[in-house]
Amino acid sequence: MTKSFAPPVSNFLSEEDRHSWLDKGQTFLIIGVKYEATGKFGAAYTYKLATTDSNGEVDTHFLSLSANARRAEEAEWMQEALTEDASGIGPVKLGQFPTTQGNPAWGFVEAE
């Protein structure tokens, strides 16, 4: 986990932001992950993300994804990795993948 994990509401990625990041291939580092029992739609994982703009300034964003068994395993791995390397996980990008029911779900893919 990271030192501070107090997400301002304005820094959460909206659905529109997510699609924009997906379309442009926005890369970022995952610098924190936290389980929350009561998210907007029930239990969720909140990811703390860091992007760097063209001037080298680092911006922090938050992404909340509903909890499931796969994300629980992923979050555990991420927390261990962040403990070992405080700089973050990545670079990665957002991806969309079909669930077993065929619905789109958000996830992370390695940036090339």
Taking the whole predicted model, whether its pTM rises above 0.85 is answered as no
pLDDT digits (tens, 9 = 90+) for 16-66: 999 999 999 999 999 999 888 775 667 888 999 999 988 999 999 999 898
DSSP states of 55-96 as a string? TS-EEEEEEEEE--HHHHHHHHHHHHHHHH-TT-EEEEEEEE
Q: Is residue 2 scored above 50 in pLDDT?
A: no
Q: Give the distance, in angstroms, between the CA of residue 103 and the centroid of all CA atoms in the same chain.
A: 19
